A and B are shown apart, each in its own frame.
Chain A
Amino acid sequence: MIMPAATLRQLSIDEMITQSTAIVRGTVQAAKSERRGSVVYTHYRVAVAEQWKGTRASAADFVVPGGVAGGLQQSFAGAPAFAAGQQYILFLWTSRSGLTHVIGLSQGVFKVLPDDAGGNDAVRAELEGRILDAAGKSIPPAAIRMRVRDLRARVLSGGAAQQ
């Protein structure tokens, strides 16, 4: 559903903070694709500038479904694409299999943009797709724009980075 080639369930900021295993602010670098079982994943590396949750590291790897590997191209509409050199705030989640994903496809992706006061805003447009609440009912999507420092404070109050 929604469904990007996927169906989304909308997560609140607090749910994303709670359910993420790592939250980082950083710059996305190179990407490569690999097949894992039936699924091709594109692997990204992000140079971490700030680690708001999770084990501190200078870089973090995560995957997005879809890509080209082993002579196969696999397409998942709705999977986010990342621009090398662009700074993001990423809500990441590591599965039991060990792969790290962005929470809820685009839901866990915030672009960092300058605000009017000389600071930075974390911005996420409203989500495309079928958005559902926890009870499975459709609900209106919502854009999010908040100061990076406010988002940082909110994250740290709910899951401080390990030193």
Chain B
Amino acid sequence: MRTSALMRTLAILAGCAVALRTGSAHYFYVHFLSAYGYGTPIYERFDAASLPNNTVLFYVADSGPAKMAQGDSFPALISEVRAAAQVWSDVPSSALRLGYGGVYPAGSQQVNAGIEVDFSDDIPPGLLALSGPSVRTDVNTAGNMPFVPIVKSVLLLPNDMSQMPSYSELTFTTLVHEFGHTIGLQHSQTSAVMSTAATSASTRATPLAADDIAGISRLYPVDRDTQKTGSIAGRVMSYGGGPVGMASVVALRAGVQAVSTLTNPDGGFQLDGLAAGDYLLYVHPLPPPLEGEDTPANIVLPRDDKNKPIAPAITAFQTQFFPSAYDQSDAQPVTVKENETAGDVNFYVRPVKSVNIHSVRTYGYSSASVAEASPSMLMETGNSLVAAGAGLLEDVNTLAPGLQVAVLGHTSTLVNLRAYAPYNYIAMDVYTNYLGPAHLVFSTPGNLYVLPSAFTVVSEAPPAITSISTTTDDAGNAALAVYGTNLQANNTRIYFDGAPAVVEGVQGDGALVVLPPPAPGGYQANVVALNADGQSSLMLGTPVVYTYADAPAGIVTATPAVLAHGDNTVDVEGVNTTFIDGQTLVGFGTSDAVVNKVTVLSPTHLAVDITLNSDAQVATSTINITTGLGVIYSNLGTPAVASTQAAPASTR
């Protein structure tokens, strides 16, 4: 049991002279041991340093979903899963990398740490996905920061994905969010992908917010000197003198995304990952717990030596800016310098009986007249914005007395603030003269609420794809011409079922010239365009489908048929394959087989160096070969054919 193991660990740690780095709880899964006090959080995270190349492998259950949307396919879903994991793997200030380990036999047991993506009949109606880490009960004392190692994480998707097309914004941001949980992130309140609120400003084009990046970077830190960021540290205390734990401290400024953290039980906090510059800081309570829940904001509470949750003593207080300001005009900026910590940024908050304004969400309307949370809004055009949340209305026809709404740090005009009967919304018209995220400040006498990235101001409408045709590029290579609007060579990325195309430029008629990712002949890919301002062609409708030209199916044979414990070299011979150096991935569907090197000897010949864990079950050895959107899955020694619509080829 966790309790007894933690007590044992406590006894061990008490005798160790370990230099601990203080920190803040951020929004991780956290433990506090009495040996270290309530100012030293111990996080649950993967032991990245012990993983080959700091890489935790994720695997997709070979069963796949039982049902998928029309035109969707298992290879397409695998590609989107890979792309979602890659979002976290690409964070340069994080030491953790996520690697695709292939499809695995559903239900098989693995020894090493990893992430399993499975498909479950046990996702009840009203739930799209579910994920979380598993930990043993011992604490790793290596290095200067003990942590609780995640031994395995699961990400469950429904067996029936007929309502969740793999290419959709919803599925992708869901996958990114769930992968965040699997690596140790909880929820934040700052409109990031890990936000619990519908106002999460994340999109498929820009899934991670500054807060997400700061979170994973704190959990899996690289050398701070290389990060070129600074920190802010301080404490949150109540006027009564006690520390305020699990208070959310947020740093932001106009046009820049917010970064937040939660205070430790001793009230201390440290905000890391801040680019140099001036920030406004505010502290706010978490939204109150909901019926059926016993924690604020759905956050798993930190645990103590006895594995008991540490609930904050004060959960309701007045939100304030630093220093002790209840109006944004009285807030004073805190200056952050590279590789330095601005300290003693302390708050003294006033406890209240209840939090009157909270859980505010904003909505706008796309050109398709569909409500979008945290909407993108065109500059200077007088956009209508609605907001819903506690404390904004007295009744359906009347605003809360004294309600004011302002854009933090900007002179944009909000006019015609009104109740939006018969709905429980308030509405306003917004005029802007700037680009980027806009933070809204809601206030009534004695109450303050800040919503980071309430909307994003953009200069043009979302990209749209109208058609795709074959062409040749300047070098005479076969390529595709992608036609549409707001497509720009230096600003638009094109994806085929989650796999990126190479955007080469613009041809004379305005079409983007792209090299599509490799795929089997006849493969049908959903093509989307993503722009740097966060908008995508999916915001205007369903994607254009591109069908690859017919081609003979690739066939591979991998030998030997049985892997030995220890080092192995697997030889892969292909027919009609297009193995590409750097794009062809090989996995064995288990964290117990570590791929050390993939050598592309020719488009039809691979050599794979792997090490099989000494405790692994040799009989489960299978091989996955993925090139672009092509997936080949087979038992070793058994020829297998590339799949276009349903993988694994060998079982369907």
Asked if A and B bind, the verdict is yes
Residues of B close to A159: CB separation below 8 A? none
Whether A77 and B132, one on each chain, are in contact in the complex, defined by CB atoms closer than 8 angstroms, is yes
Q: Per-residue CB proximity of B155-188 to A under 8 Å, as 1/0?
A: 0100000011000111001100110010000110
Chain A residue with Cβ nearest B296: A128
Size of the chain A interface, CB-CB below 8 angstroms: 69
Whether B177 and A1, one on each chain, are in contact in the complex, defined by CB atoms closer than 8 angstroms, is yes
Whether B134 and A40, one on each chain, are in contact in the complex, defined by CB atoms closer than 8 angstroms, is yes
Q: Which of B121-129, B395-403, B448-456, B499-507 has 4 or more CB atoms under 8 Å from chain A?
A: B121-129
Residues of A close to B290: CB separation below 8 A? 106, 124-128
From A15, A38, A77, contact of B186 by CB (8 A) = A77
Tell me if B152 counts as interface (CB < 8 A to partner A): yes
Residues of B close to A52: CB separation below 8 A? none
CB contacts under 8 Å to A, within B130-147, are 130-137
Tell me if A39 counts as interface (CB < 8 A to partner B): yes
From B29, B121, B152, contact of A38 by CB (8 A) = B152
Chain B residue with Cβ nearest A62: B124
Tell me if B293 counts as interface (CB < 8 A to partner A): yes
Task: Kindly state the separation between the CA atoms of A68 and B152 in the bound complex, as whole angstroms.
Answer: 14
Q: Which of A53-61, A96-104, A147-155 has 4 or more CB atoms under 8 Å from chain B?
A: A96-104
From B186, B196, B287, B300, contact of A2 by CB (8 A) = B196
From A74, A104, A110, A140, contact of B127 by CB (8 A) = A104
Whether B198 and A138, one on each chain, are in contact in the complex, defined by CB atoms closer than 8 angstroms, is yes
Whether B134 and A1, one on each chain, are in contact in the complex, defined by CB atoms closer than 8 angstroms, is no
Tell me if A3 counts as interface (CB < 8 A to partner B): yes
Whether B170 and A136, one on each chain, are in contact in the complex, defined by CB atoms closer than 8 angstroms, is yes
Whether A128 and B196, one on each chain, are in contact in the complex, defined by CB atoms closer than 8 angstroms, is yes
Whether A140 and B388, one on each chain, are in contact in the complex, defined by CB atoms closer than 8 angstroms, is yes
From B131, B136, B361, contact of A5 by CB (8 A) = B131
From B124, B133, B298, B300, contact of A93 by CB (8 A) = B124
Chain A residue with Cβ nearest B287: A128
Task: Kindly state the separation between the CA atoms of A138 and B359 in the bound complex, as whole angstroms.
Answer: 14
Given A66-B132, A77-B187, residue A108 in contact with residue B126 (CB < 8 A)? yes
* Min CB gap A14→B, angstroms: 12
Whether B177 and A7, one on each chain, are in contact in the complex, defined by CB atoms closer than 8 angstroms, is yes
Tell me if A27 counts as interface (CB < 8 A to partner B): no
Given A96-B121, A136-B170, A137-B370, residue A128 in contact with residue B126 (CB < 8 A)? no
* Min CB gap B32→A, angstroms: 15
Whether A75 and B371, one on each chain, are in contact in the complex, defined by CB atoms closer than 8 angstroms, is no
Instruction: Please classify the interface of chain A as helix (H, G, I), strand (E, B), loop, or mixed, using the class held by over half of its residues.
Output: loop
Residues of A close to B187: CB separation below 8 A? 4, 77-78
Whether A2 and B372, one on each chain, are in contact in the complex, defined by CB atoms closer than 8 angstroms, is no
Task: Kindly state the separation between the CA atoms of A131 and B388 in the bound complex, as whole angstroms.
Answer: 13
Tell me if A23 counts as interface (CB < 8 A to partner B): no
Tell me if A123 counts as interface (CB < 8 A to partner B): yes
Task: Kindly state the separation between the CA atoms of A117 and B44 in the bound complex, as whole angstroms.
Answer: 48
Q: Per-residue CB proximity of B598-627 to A under 8 Å, as 1/0?
A: 000000000000000000000000000000
* Min CB gap A125→B, angstroms: 4
Residues of B close to A130: CB separation below 8 A? 177, 195-198, 200
Residues of B close to A5: CB separation below 8 A? 130-132, 178, 181, 186
* Min CB gap B466→A, angstroms: 23
Tell me if B306 counts as interface (CB < 8 A to partner A): no
Whether B173 and A1, one on each chain, are in contact in the complex, defined by CB atoms closer than 8 angstroms, is yes
Given A106-B290, A139-B371, residue A1 in contact with residue B200 (CB < 8 A)? yes
CB contacts under 8 Å to B, within A5-42, are 5-11, 15-16, 19, 37-40
Residues of A close to B1: CB separation below 8 A? 68, 71
Task: Kindly state the separation between the CA atoms of A64 and B162 in the bound complex, as whole angstroms.
Answer: 24
* Min CB gap B182→A, angstroms: 9
Tell me if B321 counts as interface (CB < 8 A to partner A): no
Task: Kindly state the separation between the CA atoms of A129 and B118 in the bound complex, as whole angstroms.
Answer: 22
* Min CB gap B154→A, angstroms: 5
Whether B2 and A8, one on each chain, are in contact in the complex, defined by CB atoms closer than 8 angstroms, is no
* Min CB gap A70→B, angstroms: 10
Tell me if A114 counts as interface (CB < 8 A to partner B): no
Tell me if B591 counts as interface (CB < 8 A to partner A): no
Task: Kindly state the separation between the CA atoms of A80 and B196 in the bound complex, as whole angstroms.
Answer: 15
Tell me if B299 counts as interface (CB < 8 A to partner A): yes
Given A1-B200, A136-B168, residue A6 in contact with residue B134 (CB < 8 A)? no
Residues of A close to B173: CB separation below 8 A? 1
Task: Kindly state the separation between the CA atoms of A111 and B164 in the bound complex, as whole angstroms.
Answer: 31
Whether A138 and B363, one on each chain, are in contact in the complex, defined by CB atoms closer than 8 angstroms, is yes
Whether B200 and A101, one on each chain, are in contact in the complex, defined by CB atoms closer than 8 angstroms, is no
Residues of B close to A141: CB separation below 8 A? 198, 359, 361, 388
Whether A73 and B134, one on each chain, are in contact in the complex, defined by CB atoms closer than 8 angstroms, is yes
Whether B291 and A39, one on each chain, are in contact in the complex, defined by CB atoms closer than 8 angstroms, is no
CB contacts under 8 Å to B, within A80-133, are 80-83, 88, 93, 95-97, 99, 101-111, 123-132
Q: Per-residue CB proximity of B196-240 to A under 8 Å, as 1/0?
A: 111110000000000000000000000000000000000000000
Residues of A close to B307: CB separation below 8 A? 68, 73
From B126, B178, B198, contact of A104 by CB (8 A) = B126
* Min CB gap A120→B, angstroms: 14
Chain A residue with Cβ nearest B116: A38
Whether B373 and A8, one on each chain, are in contact in the complex, defined by CB atoms closer than 8 angstroms, is no
Whether A3 and B129, one on each chain, are in contact in the complex, defined by CB atoms closer than 8 angstroms, is yes
Whether B196 and A102, one on each chain, are in contact in the complex, defined by CB atoms closer than 8 angstroms, is no
Whether B135 and A78, one on each chain, are in contact in the complex, defined by CB atoms closer than 8 angstroms, is no
Tell me if A142 counts as interface (CB < 8 A to partner B): yes
Chain B residue with Cβ nearest A122: B291
Residues of A close to B197: CB separation below 8 A? 2, 128-130
Task: Kindly state the separation between the CA atoms of A142 and B423 in the bound complex, as whole angstroms.
Answer: 11
From A37, A78, A131, A138, contact of B298 by CB (8 A) = A78
Task: Kindly state the separation between the CA atoms of A128 and B359 in the bound complex, as whole angstroms.
Answer: 8
Residues of B close to A38: CB separation below 8 A? 116, 118, 152, 154
Chain A residue with Cβ nearest B156: A39
Tell me if B443 counts as interface (CB < 8 A to partner A): no
Task: Kindly state the separation between the CA atoms of A39 and B122 in the bound complex, as whole angstroms.
Answer: 10
Q: Per-residue CB proximity of B399-428 to A under 8 Å, as 1/0?
A: 000000000000000000000000011000
Query: When A and B form their complex, which 10 residue pairs have the shortest distance between CB atoms, in order from nearest?
Result: A104-B126, A109-B292, A138-B373, A140-B388, A7-B128, A80-B292, A101-B124, A138-B198, A136-B170, A78-B298
Give 11 new A-B contacts, CB below 8 A, not counting A2-B197, A72-B135: A1-B174, A3-B129, A5-B178, A7-B174, A9-B126, A9-B127, A75-B300, A93-B124, A124-B290, A130-B200, A137-B372
5 contacts between A and B (CB under 8 A): A3-B174, A6-B127, A11-B125, A75-B132, A138-B371
Q: What is A's interface to B at a CB cutoff of 8 Å?
A: 1-11, 15-16, 19, 37-40, 65-66, 68, 71-78, 80-83, 88, 93, 95-97, 99, 101-111, 123-132, 134-142
